[in-house]
């Protein structure tokens, strides 16, 4: 399946800004089931400085700076990707490994294991509590397979938490989400990751897009899709498996990956610092389309 994704971020400043520095993680990376064929980045006004490199987790980073007075910033990233369907055979292969087994196997030498280990320690956002541990333990019972336990964790989160856009922001702490049992995709992903890590297991935060389909018989609107996030767990000798707790499903053909990290802060799509004392406004739109 081929997709065309257009992600637009716009800032409107009330007072003119003389200098801005921005770091974006908006360029899609290749994965085992995703190939990025073309990326076009358009920034208005034209940046004075621009550079691209990869971060510690292998994500594409783009840095740019605008060094002239401006009151408006628009960043548009258009990507074309090809998505492969996951094979069913691999799914069966990893079903057997217990979660306790994962904890042992991951300590064995090997680049994949080494890389996965860095996703075990908690971060500021995914700090463990007794409550989180107890929630996790209900699914991670002794001797249970890693895959089953993770899938059940996803199902429970999907059932126990209400999807409520606008209830949280990027700064809402996990404790509030847990108390109110409300939030959006990144809150659910963070909660799941905190659960996994409280059990001593690796989990990472995946930033990306989800293709949404228009209701039958209606034309799909442009820009209604938003960026999305889910979590991923590691099974040694098999790899990373993505779970989407917001939609209670395994990430599949409609899930398009931008990049991953330990939590949101490692892969936040666009951040910046401006020199200005005035307020500003942010507007984001995402459009994911199938290409025929």
Partner 1 sequence: MISETAKTSFLEEYFNNSHSNNDLFGFNPGLEQNWKTFFTSFSNLGNEEIMNRSQDMMRFLKENGVTYNIYGDPSGLNRPWNLDIVPFLVSKEEWLLIEAGLVQRANLFDLILKDVYGEQRLIKEGVLPMEIIYNHRGFLRECCGINLPGKHNLVIYAADIARTNNGKIWVLNDRTQAPSGSGYALENRLAMARIVPELFNGLKVRRLSPYYNAMRNALTEMSPQQKEQPRIVILTPGPSNETYFEHSFLSSHLGFTLVQGDDLMVKDNYVWLKTLGGLEKVDVIVRRVDDEYCDPLELKEDSQLGVPGLLQAVRSGNVSIANPLGSSVVENPGLMPFLPAIARKLLSEELKLPTIASWWCGQPKELQYVLDHLPTLVIKRIFRESFNRTSVDATLLTNEELSDLRQKIIAQPHLYVGQEKVDFSNTPAMVNGKLEPCHALLRCFAVSDNGNYTAMEGGLTRTSLDKNNMVISNQLGGFSKDTWILSGDETSTLGIKKEQEYVHAQKHNTKSDILPSRTAENLFWVGRYTERVLGNARFQRTVMQFVEEANKAFIDDDLNLKQSLLRALTVHTHTYPGFTGTGSEKKLLEPWKELSEILFDSNRAGSLSCNIASFSRAVYAVRDHWSTDTWRVLREMEEAWQSAAAAKHKGHYKMLNAVDNLITSMMAFVSLNRESISREQGWNLLDAGRKIEQSLLIISMLRSTLVTRREGQVEYILQEAVLKSNESLVNYRFKYRAHLQLPLVLDLLLLDPNNPRSLVYQVERLKAYLSGLPKINVGHALAEHERLALEAFTMIKLADKDVLSVADRHTHRYKKLDEFLTKMNMLLHNISNVVSKTYFKHAQTQQQLFRSGNV
Contact between 167 and partner 1 by CB under 8 A: the answer reads no
Contact between 58 and partner 1 by CB under 8 A: the answer reads no
Instruction: Estimate to the nearest angstrom the gap between the alpha carbon of 81 and the chain centroid.
Output: 17
With contacts defined by CB under 8 A, how many residues of the chain interact with partner 1?
50
Of 84-92, 113-121, 147-155, 173-181, the segment contacting partner 1 by CB under 8 A is 113-121
- From the CB of residue 258, how many other CB atoms can be counted at a distance below 10 Å? 25
Contact between 104 and partner 1 by CB under 8 A: the answer reads no
Q: 9, 74 in Cβ contact below 8 A?
A: yes
Contact between 173 and partner 1 by CB under 8 A: the answer reads no
CA dihedral 172, 178, 183, 184 (to 10 degrees): 90
Helices (H), 35-126: 88-93, 99-105, 111-117
Considering only residues 177 to 196 of the shown chain, the ones binding partner 1 according to CB under 8 A are 184-186
Work out how close the CB of 117 gets to partner 1 at its nearest, in angstroms, rounded to a whole number: 6
CA dihedral 181, 184, 189, 195 (to 10 degrees): -10
Q: Of residues 41, 65, 86, 250, which one binds partner 1 by CB under 8 A?
A: 65
Contact string 261-290 vs partner 1 (x = CB under 8 A): ---x-x-xxxxxxxxxx--xxx-x------
Instruction: List, edge to edge, every strand of the sheet that includes 239-244.
Output: 249-250, 239-244, 227-235, 203-210, 255-261
Contact between 213 and partner 1 by CB under 8 A: the answer reads no
Contact between 227 and partner 1 by CB under 8 A: the answer reads yes
Ramachandran angles phi, psi of 132, nearest 5°: -65, -45
Binding site for partner 1 (CB under 8 A): 9, 11, 18-23, 48-49, 51, 53, 55-57, 63, 65, 67, 114, 117-118, 121, 165, 168-170, 184-186, 207, 226-229, 264, 266, 268-277, 280-282, 284
């Amino acid at each position: 399946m081929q997709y065309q994704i257009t992600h637009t971020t716009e800032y409107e400043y009330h007072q003119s800004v003389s200098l801005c520095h921005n770091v974006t993680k908006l360029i899609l990376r290749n994965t085992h089931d995703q190939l990025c064929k073309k990326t076009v980045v358009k920034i208005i006004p034209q940046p004075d400085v621009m550079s691209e490199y990869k971060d510690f987790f292998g994500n594409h980073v783009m840095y740019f700076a605008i060094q002239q007075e401006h009151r408006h910033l628009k960043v548009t990233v258009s990507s074309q990707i090809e998505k492969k369907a996951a094979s069913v055979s691999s799914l069966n292969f990893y079903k057997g490994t217990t979660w306790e087994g994962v904890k042992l196997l991951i300590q064995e030498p090997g680049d994949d294991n080494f890389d996965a280990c860095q996703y075990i320690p908690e971060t500021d956002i995914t700090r463990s509590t007794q409550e989180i541990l107890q929630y996790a333990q209900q699914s991670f019972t002794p001797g249970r397979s890693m895959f089953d336990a993770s899938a059940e964790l996803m199902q429970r989160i999907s059932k126990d938490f209400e999807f409520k856009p606008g209830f949280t922001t990027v700064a809402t702490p996990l404790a509030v989400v847990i108390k109110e049992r409300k939030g959006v995709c990144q809150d659910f992903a963070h909660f799941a990751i905190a659960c996994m890590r409280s059990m001593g297991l690796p989990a990472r935060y995946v930033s990306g897009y989800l293709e949404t389909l228009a209701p039958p018989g209606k034309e799909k609107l442009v820009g209604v899709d938003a960026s999305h996030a889910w979590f991923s767990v590691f099974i040694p000798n098999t790899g990373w498996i993505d779970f989407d707790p917001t939609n209670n499903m395994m990430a599949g053909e409609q899930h398009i990956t931008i990049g991953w990290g330990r939590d949101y802060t490692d892969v936040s799509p666009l951040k910046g610092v401006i020199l200005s004392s005035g307020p500003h406004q942010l507007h984001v739109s995402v459009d994911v389309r199938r290409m025929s």
